[in-house]
Every structure is written in C-alpha cells, then in structure tokens.
Amino acid sequence: MKKYLLLSLAFITSCGGGDKESFIKELEQKNNISYTKVENFGAYIPPQCYTKTLDSDGTVHNPCYTCHTQGTPPNFWNDTDLQESYNF
C-alpha cells in the first residue's frame, strides 16, 4: 500500500507544476525562437481577394470564381453574388 501511495504521489507531482509563461520560455530557449502573439483578424481572407479586378489597361481579372461559387455537397454555401459586388 505504501508503495502505491508513493508511486501515485510521484505521478501526480510530475504531471503539473509548471505555468504557461515558464513553458513558453522553455520552448523559446530550446528552439531558438521568440513567441509573439499575432492578432490578424483578416487572416481568413486569402490574398486573391485583394487582387484588383481591373488593370490600368482595362484587362479584367476575376480570382473570385475560385472560392465564391455555387455550393456543392458538402459545402452548401452559395455566395456567387460576392463575385459581382466585390464585397468581403
């Protein structure tokens, strides 16, 4: 019984004990990196959405067709109207 108690105590103490900050610092040191929280609220918008749809010489570009299409299973989202409105 004493053996199980000691093993249980050793297991419980080895499972916790560290806080988030010390864990992050340890990762930074081990991997030679710097942890910085990046907040990019537009990260879900791909670069194609920022493409100018009309060149200076009048050539039309429409990268919207790759994402904004009629939905087919399992993606039932139909947002083809966004191609014309250039609204994201």
Residue pLDDT, tens place only, 49-79: 888 888 899 998 888 777 777 777 776 777 7
| Averaged confidence pLDDT in the chain | 77
Assign 5 a pLDDT band (cuts: 50, 70, 90): low
pLDDT in tens, 35-45: 787 787 777 77
Of all helices (H) and strands (E), which one includes residue 6? helix 2-15
Model pTM above 0.85: no
For residue 30, the model assigns a pLDDT of: 92
CB 33 within 8 Å of CB 26? no
